[in-house]
Structure 1
Amino acid sequence: MFSLKSDNENSKVKNSLAFSSGINGKIKNAFLEVWQQYKTLHRYGFEVVQKRLAGSTMQAQPVIDFSQVFGTKRGYRLDVAERVLDSGELNVADLPEEVLRGWFAHELGHMIDYENHSNLGMIAYGIRYSISDQYKREREHEADSIAIRYGFKKEIIATKKYLLENDFISPKYQDQIKKFYMSIRGAELCPDDRTPVLPKIDL
Protein backbone atom coordinates (compact mmCIF):
# COMPACT_ATOMS: atom_id res chain seq x y z
CA MET A 1 0.00 0.00 0.00
CA PHE A 2 2.89 2.37 0.63
CA SER A 3 6.66 2.46 0.24
CA LEU A 4 9.23 3.86 2.67
CA LYS A 5 12.47 5.41 1.41
CA SER A 6 15.69 6.32 3.14
CA ASP A 7 16.90 9.93 3.28
CA ASN A 8 19.37 9.33 0.44
CA GLU A 9 16.73 7.81 -1.80
CA ASN A 10 14.22 10.51 -1.02
CA SER A 11 16.71 13.26 -1.82
CA LYS A 12 16.66 12.07 -5.41
CA VAL A 13 12.90 12.53 -5.77
CA LYS A 14 11.98 15.79 -7.49
CA ASN A 15 8.59 17.28 -8.22
CA SER A 16 8.48 15.73 -11.66
CA LEU A 17 7.16 12.74 -13.58
CA ALA A 18 9.51 9.87 -14.42
CA PHE A 19 9.09 6.54 -16.21
CA SER A 20 11.11 3.38 -15.70
CA SER A 21 13.59 2.47 -18.39
CA GLY A 22 12.09 0.52 -21.27
CA ILE A 23 8.45 1.20 -20.39
CA ASN A 24 6.09 0.42 -23.27
CA GLY A 25 5.36 3.50 -25.40
CA LYS A 26 1.62 2.86 -25.61
CA ILE A 27 1.39 2.62 -21.82
CA LYS A 28 3.42 5.81 -21.42
CA ASN A 29 1.27 7.79 -23.87
CA ALA A 30 -2.01 6.59 -22.35
CA PHE A 31 -0.80 7.52 -18.90
CA LEU A 32 0.26 11.00 -20.01
CA GLU A 33 -3.20 11.65 -21.48
CA VAL A 34 -4.78 10.90 -18.09
CA TRP A 35 -2.05 12.59 -16.05
CA GLN A 36 -2.79 15.94 -17.68
CA GLN A 37 -6.16 16.03 -15.90
CA TYR A 38 -4.76 15.24 -12.44
CA LYS A 39 -2.95 18.51 -11.91
CA THR A 40 -3.28 18.21 -8.11
CA LEU A 41 -0.64 15.47 -8.25
CA HIS A 42 1.84 17.39 -10.41
CA ARG A 43 3.52 19.00 -7.40
CA TYR A 44 4.85 15.64 -6.22
CA GLY A 45 7.69 13.46 -7.32
CA PHE A 46 5.94 10.74 -9.34
CA GLU A 47 7.27 7.59 -10.98
CA VAL A 48 5.59 5.05 -13.26
CA VAL A 49 7.33 1.67 -13.14
CA GLN A 50 6.53 -1.30 -15.36
CA LYS A 51 7.59 -4.61 -13.83
CA ARG A 52 6.35 -8.06 -12.89
CA LEU A 53 3.62 -7.94 -10.23
CA ALA A 54 2.41 -11.07 -8.47
CA GLY A 55 -0.96 -10.02 -7.05
CA SER A 56 -2.26 -7.10 -9.10
CA THR A 57 -2.22 -5.44 -12.50
CA MET A 58 -1.57 -1.91 -11.24
CA GLN A 59 -0.67 -0.66 -7.79
CA ALA A 60 -0.77 2.99 -6.68
CA GLN A 61 1.21 3.87 -3.59
CA PRO A 62 2.67 6.85 -1.75
CA VAL A 63 6.43 6.92 -1.30
CA ILE A 64 7.26 8.21 2.18
CA ASP A 65 10.65 9.10 3.63
CA PHE A 66 11.40 7.42 6.98
CA SER A 67 11.95 10.87 8.49
CA GLN A 68 8.57 12.06 7.24
CA VAL A 69 6.32 9.37 8.75
CA PHE A 70 5.07 12.02 11.17
CA GLY A 71 5.28 14.75 8.53
CA THR A 72 3.62 15.52 5.22
CA LYS A 73 6.30 15.18 2.54
CA ARG A 74 5.75 12.34 0.10
CA GLY A 75 5.96 11.24 -3.50
CA TYR A 76 3.92 8.71 -5.46
CA ARG A 77 4.63 5.64 -7.54
CA LEU A 78 2.45 3.62 -9.90
CA ASP A 79 3.58 0.05 -10.55
CA VAL A 80 2.25 -1.44 -13.79
CA ALA A 81 2.45 -5.18 -14.44
CA GLU A 82 3.60 -6.67 -17.70
CA ARG A 83 0.47 -8.85 -17.93
CA VAL A 84 -3.13 -8.44 -16.78
CA LEU A 85 -3.74 -10.44 -13.60
CA ASP A 86 -5.36 -13.87 -14.15
CA SER A 87 -5.72 -13.35 -17.89
CA GLY A 88 -3.27 -15.88 -19.24
CA GLU A 89 -0.92 -14.15 -21.67
CA LEU A 90 -2.69 -10.79 -22.08
CA ASN A 91 -0.11 -8.01 -21.98
CA VAL A 92 -1.12 -4.73 -20.37
CA ALA A 93 0.30 -2.99 -23.45
CA ASP A 94 -2.23 -4.86 -25.62
CA LEU A 95 -5.25 -3.45 -23.80
CA PRO A 96 -7.40 -1.02 -25.82
CA GLU A 97 -6.29 2.56 -25.28
CA GLU A 98 -9.62 3.56 -23.73
CA VAL A 99 -9.30 0.73 -21.22
CA LEU A 100 -5.74 1.78 -20.35
CA ARG A 101 -6.88 5.35 -19.77
CA GLY A 102 -9.76 4.16 -17.57
CA TRP A 103 -7.43 1.98 -15.51
CA PHE A 104 -4.94 4.81 -15.06
CA ALA A 105 -7.75 7.21 -14.13
CA HIS A 106 -8.85 4.79 -11.41
CA GLU A 107 -5.32 4.41 -10.02
CA LEU A 108 -4.74 8.16 -9.97
CA GLY A 109 -8.11 8.43 -8.24
CA HIS A 110 -6.58 6.36 -5.43
CA MET A 111 -3.77 8.87 -5.15
CA ILE A 112 -6.20 11.76 -4.87
CA ASP A 113 -7.93 9.76 -2.12
CA TYR A 114 -4.54 9.34 -0.39
CA GLU A 115 -4.40 13.14 -0.14
CA ASN A 116 -7.06 12.86 2.58
CA HIS A 117 -4.59 11.09 4.86
CA SER A 118 -1.44 12.12 6.65
CA ASN A 119 1.66 9.98 6.20
CA LEU A 120 0.96 8.29 9.53
CA GLY A 121 -2.67 7.91 8.54
CA MET A 122 -1.59 6.04 5.41
CA ILE A 123 -0.24 3.25 7.61
CA ALA A 124 -3.68 2.82 9.18
CA TYR A 125 -5.19 3.06 5.68
CA GLY A 126 -3.02 0.20 4.45
CA ILE A 127 -3.88 -2.01 7.42
CA ARG A 128 -7.62 -1.38 7.13
CA TYR A 129 -7.52 -1.95 3.36
CA SER A 130 -5.81 -5.31 3.90
CA ILE A 131 -8.12 -6.67 6.61
CA SER A 132 -11.53 -5.10 5.96
CA ASP A 133 -13.53 -6.02 2.86
CA GLN A 134 -15.95 -3.18 3.57
CA TYR A 135 -13.16 -0.60 3.77
CA LYS A 136 -11.51 -1.94 0.61
CA ARG A 137 -14.84 -1.70 -1.21
CA GLU A 138 -15.35 1.89 -0.01
CA ARG A 139 -11.90 2.93 -1.20
CA GLU A 140 -12.24 1.25 -4.60
CA HIS A 141 -15.64 2.89 -5.12
CA GLU A 142 -14.14 6.23 -4.13
CA ALA A 143 -11.30 5.84 -6.64
CA ASP A 144 -13.85 5.19 -9.39
CA SER A 145 -15.94 8.15 -8.25
CA ILE A 146 -12.92 10.47 -8.28
CA ALA A 147 -11.92 9.31 -11.77
CA ILE A 148 -15.43 10.03 -13.01
CA ARG A 149 -15.42 13.49 -11.41
CA TYR A 150 -12.13 14.17 -13.18
CA GLY A 151 -13.82 13.51 -16.51
CA PHE A 152 -13.18 9.81 -17.19
CA LYS A 153 -16.66 8.28 -16.91
CA LYS A 154 -16.57 6.84 -20.44
CA GLU A 155 -13.17 5.28 -19.85
CA ILE A 156 -14.11 3.85 -16.44
CA ILE A 157 -17.20 2.21 -17.92
CA ALA A 158 -15.21 0.87 -20.89
CA THR A 159 -12.65 -0.67 -18.52
CA LYS A 160 -15.34 -2.39 -16.45
CA LYS A 161 -17.08 -3.78 -19.50
CA TYR A 162 -13.82 -5.05 -20.95
CA LEU A 163 -12.84 -6.88 -17.76
CA LEU A 164 -16.29 -8.28 -16.97
CA GLU A 165 -17.48 -9.22 -20.45
CA ASN A 166 -14.40 -10.94 -21.94
CA ASP A 167 -14.01 -14.66 -21.30
CA PHE A 168 -10.20 -14.52 -21.33
CA ILE A 169 -10.35 -12.74 -17.97
CA SER A 170 -10.61 -15.41 -15.27
CA PRO A 171 -13.93 -15.80 -13.40
CA LYS A 172 -11.97 -15.45 -10.15
CA TYR A 173 -10.69 -12.01 -11.14
CA GLN A 174 -14.13 -10.99 -12.40
CA ASP A 175 -15.66 -12.03 -9.06
CA GLN A 176 -13.15 -9.80 -7.24
CA ILE A 177 -14.08 -6.88 -9.50
CA LYS A 178 -17.78 -7.41 -8.82
CA LYS A 179 -17.18 -7.68 -5.08
CA PHE A 180 -15.02 -4.60 -4.53
CA TYR A 181 -15.45 -2.21 -7.44
CA MET A 182 -18.27 0.02 -8.60
CA SER A 183 -20.64 -1.78 -10.98
CA ILE A 184 -21.12 -0.72 -14.59
CA ARG A 185 -24.57 0.61 -13.68
CA GLY A 186 -23.14 2.39 -10.66
CA ALA A 187 -20.56 4.11 -12.87
CA GLU A 188 -23.26 5.13 -15.34
CA LEU A 189 -25.25 6.75 -12.51
CA CYS A 190 -22.27 8.29 -10.71
CA PRO A 191 -22.34 12.13 -10.77
CA ASP A 192 -19.75 13.60 -13.12
CA ASP A 193 -20.20 17.29 -12.38
CA ARG A 194 -16.46 17.84 -11.79
CA THR A 195 -17.02 18.49 -8.10
CA PRO A 196 -13.67 19.53 -6.58
CA VAL A 197 -12.06 16.72 -4.59
CA LEU A 198 -10.71 18.60 -1.59
CA PRO A 199 -8.46 16.86 0.93
CA LYS A 200 -9.67 16.49 4.51
CA ILE A 201 -6.67 15.21 6.37
CA ASP A 202 -7.43 12.11 8.43
CA LEU A 203 -4.81 11.63 11.13
Structure 2
Amino acid sequence: MSSCNRTVSELSETYVNPLRNYKFSCQLIDSTDVRAALPALEKEFGSFVDCPDVYRPKLLAALSFYPELKGIRITIVQKPLKTSMAARPANYAFARNKRRYNIYVDDITDKVTDFRRYPYSAQIGCFVHELGHVAYYEQRSNARLTYDGLSYVSRQKYRSHYEELADHNSLSHGGGYYGYMYRNYTLNEAGISKKYRLFKRANYYTGKKLLELHNEQRTERGLSPCQPPLADSAKVFRPTLPIK
Protein backbone atom coordinates (compact mmCIF):
# COMPACT_ATOMS: atom_id res chain seq x y z
CA MET A 1 0.00 0.00 0.00
CA SER A 2 1.37 3.42 -0.89
CA SER A 3 2.10 6.09 1.67
CA CYS A 4 -0.66 8.33 0.35
CA ASN A 5 -3.22 5.56 0.68
CA ARG A 6 -2.03 5.00 4.23
CA THR A 7 -2.82 8.58 5.20
CA VAL A 8 -6.36 8.50 3.85
CA SER A 9 -7.24 5.97 6.54
CA GLU A 10 -6.01 8.39 9.22
CA LEU A 11 -8.62 11.06 8.44
CA SER A 12 -11.13 11.52 11.24
CA GLU A 13 -14.29 9.58 10.52
CA THR A 14 -16.32 12.72 11.13
CA TYR A 15 -14.16 14.98 8.95
CA VAL A 16 -15.95 16.81 6.16
CA ASN A 17 -13.84 19.15 4.05
CA PRO A 18 -15.04 22.65 5.02
CA LEU A 19 -13.78 24.04 1.69
CA ARG A 20 -15.27 21.30 -0.48
CA ASN A 21 -17.30 23.82 -2.50
CA TYR A 22 -14.06 25.09 -4.02
CA LYS A 23 -13.06 21.73 -5.50
CA PHE A 24 -13.36 21.78 -9.31
CA SER A 25 -14.68 25.31 -8.90
CA CYS A 26 -14.63 28.57 -10.87
CA GLN A 27 -14.92 30.70 -7.72
CA LEU A 28 -12.37 32.94 -6.08
CA ILE A 29 -11.47 31.54 -2.66
CA ASP A 30 -12.91 33.84 -0.01
CA SER A 31 -10.48 34.49 2.83
CA THR A 32 -13.41 34.63 5.27
CA ASP A 33 -14.34 31.06 4.27
CA VAL A 34 -10.77 29.97 4.94
CA ARG A 35 -10.77 31.64 8.37
CA ALA A 36 -14.02 29.89 9.23
CA ALA A 37 -12.55 26.55 8.08
CA LEU A 38 -9.29 26.88 10.02
CA PRO A 39 -10.39 25.04 13.20
CA ALA A 40 -11.38 21.95 11.16
CA LEU A 41 -8.27 22.17 8.96
CA GLU A 42 -6.01 22.61 11.98
CA LYS A 43 -7.56 19.54 13.59
CA GLU A 44 -6.86 17.38 10.54
CA PHE A 45 -3.54 18.74 9.25
CA GLY A 46 -2.18 21.29 11.71
CA SER A 47 -0.04 19.06 13.90
CA PHE A 48 1.93 17.87 10.86
CA VAL A 49 2.67 21.34 9.46
CA ASP A 50 5.47 23.69 10.50
CA CYS A 51 4.58 26.98 8.83
CA PRO A 52 4.90 30.72 9.53
CA ASP A 53 1.59 32.33 10.41
CA VAL A 54 1.64 34.50 7.29
CA TYR A 55 1.33 31.40 5.07
CA ARG A 56 -0.44 28.96 7.37
CA PRO A 57 -4.10 29.60 6.36
CA LYS A 58 -3.18 29.39 2.66
CA LEU A 59 -1.21 26.16 3.11
CA LEU A 60 -4.03 24.57 5.12
CA ALA A 61 -6.54 25.68 2.49
CA ALA A 62 -4.37 24.02 -0.17
CA LEU A 63 -4.13 20.85 1.93
CA SER A 64 -7.92 20.65 1.91
CA PHE A 65 -7.56 19.52 -1.73
CA TYR A 66 -5.23 16.66 -0.66
CA PRO A 67 -6.85 14.74 2.23
CA GLU A 68 -4.42 11.87 1.62
CA LEU A 69 -1.54 14.09 2.75
CA LYS A 70 -2.71 14.09 6.35
CA GLY A 71 0.11 12.67 8.43
CA ILE A 72 2.78 13.90 6.03
CA ARG A 73 5.16 16.30 7.75
CA ILE A 74 5.62 19.51 5.77
CA THR A 75 7.81 22.48 6.71
CA ILE A 76 7.67 25.88 5.05
CA VAL A 77 11.17 27.35 4.65
CA GLN A 78 11.62 31.01 3.70
CA LYS A 79 14.63 31.60 1.42
CA PRO A 80 15.57 33.37 -1.83
CA LEU A 81 14.61 31.41 -4.95
CA LYS A 82 14.52 31.95 -8.70
CA THR A 83 10.81 31.16 -8.59
CA SER A 84 8.02 31.60 -6.02
CA MET A 85 8.12 28.13 -4.44
CA ALA A 86 9.83 24.76 -4.64
CA ALA A 87 8.92 21.49 -2.88
CA ARG A 88 11.66 19.01 -2.00
CA PRO A 89 12.05 15.92 0.20
CA ALA A 90 13.71 16.91 3.46
CA ASN A 91 15.03 13.40 3.99
CA TYR A 92 15.05 10.01 2.28
CA ALA A 93 13.77 7.81 5.08
CA PHE A 94 13.52 4.19 4.05
CA ALA A 95 10.19 3.96 5.85
CA ARG A 96 7.87 6.19 3.86
CA ASN A 97 5.84 7.12 6.91
CA LYS A 98 9.01 8.78 8.27
CA ARG A 99 9.48 11.06 5.30
CA ARG A 100 9.37 14.83 5.63
CA TYR A 101 9.12 17.53 2.98
CA ASN A 102 10.13 21.16 2.71
CA ILE A 103 8.29 23.75 0.67
CA TYR A 104 10.64 26.66 0.06
CA VAL A 105 8.98 30.07 -0.31
CA ASP A 106 10.68 33.05 -1.90
CA ASP A 107 9.56 36.02 0.19
CA ILE A 108 12.23 38.58 -0.61
CA THR A 109 10.55 41.98 -0.76
CA ASP A 110 10.70 44.61 -3.51
CA LYS A 111 10.40 42.09 -6.35
CA VAL A 112 7.67 42.13 -8.97
CA THR A 113 7.19 38.43 -8.24
CA ASP A 114 6.85 39.01 -4.47
CA PHE A 115 4.53 36.13 -3.66
CA ARG A 116 2.75 38.07 -0.91
CA ARG A 117 1.48 40.62 -3.44
CA TYR A 118 -0.38 37.96 -5.40
CA PRO A 119 -4.16 37.59 -5.18
CA TYR A 120 -5.34 35.37 -2.32
CA SER A 121 -6.63 32.59 -4.58
CA ALA A 122 -3.45 32.65 -6.65
CA GLN A 123 -1.31 32.24 -3.52
CA ILE A 124 -3.35 29.18 -2.55
CA GLY A 125 -2.98 27.94 -6.12
CA CYS A 126 0.79 28.00 -5.83
CA PHE A 127 0.62 25.89 -2.66
CA VAL A 128 -1.79 23.52 -4.43
CA HIS A 129 0.82 23.07 -7.18
CA GLU A 130 3.65 22.40 -4.71
CA LEU A 131 1.53 19.88 -2.82
CA GLY A 132 1.10 18.17 -6.18
CA HIS A 133 4.85 17.55 -6.02
CA VAL A 134 4.57 16.21 -2.47
CA ALA A 135 1.78 13.85 -3.51
CA TYR A 136 4.02 12.61 -6.33
CA TYR A 137 7.01 12.13 -3.99
CA GLU A 138 4.88 10.08 -1.63
CA GLN A 139 4.26 7.52 -4.37
CA ARG A 140 7.95 7.08 -5.26
CA SER A 141 10.79 5.02 -3.81
CA ASN A 142 14.00 6.64 -2.58
CA ALA A 143 15.80 5.36 -5.67
CA ARG A 144 13.19 6.89 -7.93
CA LEU A 145 13.36 10.23 -6.11
CA THR A 146 17.14 10.25 -6.54
CA TYR A 147 16.74 9.56 -10.26
CA ASP A 148 14.10 12.27 -10.54
CA GLY A 149 16.32 14.81 -8.81
CA LEU A 150 19.29 14.12 -11.06
CA SER A 151 17.09 14.21 -14.16
CA TYR A 152 15.42 17.46 -13.06
CA VAL A 153 18.71 19.37 -12.84
CA SER A 154 20.23 17.88 -15.99
CA ARG A 155 17.43 17.54 -18.55
CA GLN A 156 15.14 20.35 -19.64
CA LYS A 157 12.52 18.00 -21.08
CA TYR A 158 12.33 16.09 -17.82
CA ARG A 159 12.03 19.31 -15.82
CA SER A 160 9.00 20.34 -17.85
CA HIS A 161 7.50 16.86 -17.43
CA TYR A 162 8.05 17.03 -13.67
CA GLU A 163 6.21 20.32 -13.34
CA GLU A 164 3.37 19.03 -15.50
CA LEU A 165 3.01 16.03 -13.18
CA ALA A 166 2.44 18.40 -10.25
CA ASP A 167 -0.10 20.36 -12.30
CA HIS A 168 -1.98 17.18 -13.18
CA ASN A 169 -2.06 16.22 -9.51
CA SER A 170 -3.55 19.61 -8.64
CA LEU A 171 -6.05 19.27 -11.51
CA SER A 172 -7.19 15.78 -10.50
CA HIS A 173 -7.60 16.93 -6.89
CA GLY A 174 -9.88 19.79 -7.92
CA GLY A 175 -7.50 22.72 -7.44
CA GLY A 176 -6.73 23.43 -11.07
CA TYR A 177 -8.54 26.76 -11.21
CA TYR A 178 -6.31 28.19 -8.50
CA GLY A 179 -3.16 26.93 -10.20
CA TYR A 180 -4.48 28.64 -13.32
CA MET A 181 -5.01 31.89 -11.40
CA TYR A 182 -1.43 31.78 -10.10
CA ARG A 183 0.06 31.04 -13.51
CA ASN A 184 -2.12 33.59 -15.27
CA TYR A 185 -1.24 36.32 -12.78
CA THR A 186 2.47 35.58 -13.03
CA LEU A 187 2.57 35.68 -16.82
CA ASN A 188 0.05 38.46 -17.44
CA GLU A 189 -0.17 40.69 -14.37
CA ALA A 190 3.03 40.60 -12.34
CA GLY A 191 5.27 42.55 -14.73
CA ILE A 192 7.94 39.86 -14.81
CA SER A 193 11.15 40.18 -16.80
CA LYS A 194 11.57 38.65 -20.25
CA LYS A 195 14.11 36.18 -18.83
CA TYR A 196 11.73 34.98 -16.12
CA ARG A 197 8.87 34.76 -18.62
CA LEU A 198 10.98 32.51 -20.83
CA PHE A 199 11.86 30.38 -17.79
CA LYS A 200 8.18 29.98 -16.89
CA ARG A 201 7.14 29.12 -20.43
CA ALA A 202 9.97 26.60 -20.78
CA ASN A 203 9.09 24.75 -17.59
CA TYR A 204 5.35 25.10 -16.95
CA TYR A 205 1.97 24.98 -18.59
CA THR A 206 0.59 28.38 -19.53
CA GLY A 207 -2.43 29.70 -17.64
CA LYS A 208 -4.51 29.16 -20.76
CA LYS A 209 -3.53 25.47 -20.86
CA LEU A 210 -4.30 25.01 -17.17
CA LEU A 211 -7.74 26.52 -17.60
CA GLU A 212 -8.37 24.22 -20.56
CA LEU A 213 -7.37 21.17 -18.51
CA HIS A 214 -9.43 22.33 -15.53
CA ASN A 215 -12.46 22.69 -17.79
CA GLU A 216 -11.92 19.14 -19.02
CA GLN A 217 -12.16 18.01 -15.40
CA ARG A 218 -15.38 19.99 -14.97
CA THR A 219 -16.87 18.59 -18.17
CA GLU A 220 -16.19 15.04 -16.95
CA ARG A 221 -18.25 15.91 -13.87
CA GLY A 222 -21.12 17.43 -15.83
CA LEU A 223 -20.15 21.01 -14.92
CA SER A 224 -20.05 23.97 -17.27
CA PRO A 225 -16.64 25.42 -18.22
CA CYS A 226 -15.05 28.25 -16.26
CA GLN A 227 -14.66 31.45 -18.24
CA PRO A 228 -11.32 33.29 -18.48
CA PRO A 229 -10.93 36.51 -16.51
CA LEU A 230 -12.39 39.75 -17.81
CA ALA A 231 -10.09 42.00 -19.83
CA ASP A 232 -10.03 44.31 -16.80
CA SER A 233 -8.35 41.85 -14.46
CA ALA A 234 -8.75 44.17 -11.50
CA LYS A 235 -12.41 43.13 -11.49
CA VAL A 236 -11.35 39.53 -10.92
CA PHE A 237 -8.07 39.73 -9.01
CA ARG A 238 -7.69 41.59 -5.73
CA PRO A 239 -3.95 41.72 -5.02
CA THR A 240 -3.01 41.78 -1.35
CA LEU A 241 -0.38 44.11 0.02
CA PRO A 242 2.87 42.59 1.31
CA ILE A 243 2.68 41.63 4.96
CA LYS A 244 5.42 43.18 7.03
Q: Normalized against structure 1, the TM-score is what?
A: 0.75
Q: In structure 1, which of residues 64, 67, 79 is the aligned counterpart of residue 104 of structure 2? A: 79
- Could you list the runs of 5+ residues in structure 2 that have no partner in the other structure? 1-46, 221-244
Question: Does the 8 Å contact 1:137/1:179 carry over to 2?
Answer: yes
> What does residue 85 of structure 2 align with?
58
Question: Does the 8 Å contact 1:24/1:93 carry over to 2?
Answer: no
* CA deviations over 1:153-185 (Å, ceiling 9, x no partner): 221111111111126211111111111111223
Q: 1:30 to 1:134 in 2, by over 3 A?
A: same
Q: In structure 2, which of residues 166, 169, 184 is the aligned counterpart of residue 143 of structure 1? A: 166
Q: Distance in 1 between matches of 2:79 and 2:112?
A: 13
**In the comparison of the two structures, how many residue pairs are matched?**
170
Q: In structure 2, which of residues 35, 50, 63 is the aligned counterpart of residue 18 of structure 1? A: 50
CA RMSD of aligned residues (A): 2.2
How do 1:50-199 and structure 2 match up within 5 A? 51-65=78-92, 68=93, 70-72=94-96, 73-83=98-108, 88=111, 90-166=113-189, 168-190=191-213, 191-192=216-217
Paired letter, 1:76: Y
Runs of 4+ residues deviating >6 angstroms: none
- The CA deviation at 1:33 is 0.8
- Could you list the runs of 5+ residues in structure 1 that have no partner in the other structure? 1-14, 196-203
Q: Distance in 2 between matches of 1:71 and 1:120?
A: 13
Q: Distance in 2 between matches of 1:78 and 1:88?
A: 20
| Aligned-partner SS, 1:192 | helix
- The CA deviation at 1:143 is 0.8
Q: Distance in 2 between matches of 1:132 and 1:31?
A: 30
Q: Distance in 2 between matches of 1:90 and 1:118?
A: 34
Q: Distance in 2 between matches of 1:179 and 1:89?
A: 20
| Aligned-partner SS, 2:70 | helix
> What does residue 74 of structure 2 align with?
46
Question: Does the 8 Å contact 2:81/2:105 carry over to 1?
Answer: no
Q: Distance in 1 between matches of 2:58 and 2:190?
A: 24
Question: Does the 8 Å contact 2:87/2:102 carry over to 1?
Answer: yes
- The CA deviation at 1:88 is 2.7
- The CA deviation at 1:99 is 0.9
| Aligned-partner SS, 2:197 | helix
Q: Distance in 2 between matches of 1:40 and 1:116?
A: 11
- The CA deviation at 1:90 is 4.8
Q: 1:24 to 1:95 in 2, by over 3 A?
A: farther
1:33 matches 2:61? yes
Question: Does the 8 Å contact 2:184/2:208 carry over to 1?
Answer: no
> Could you say which structure has the larger radius of gyration?
2
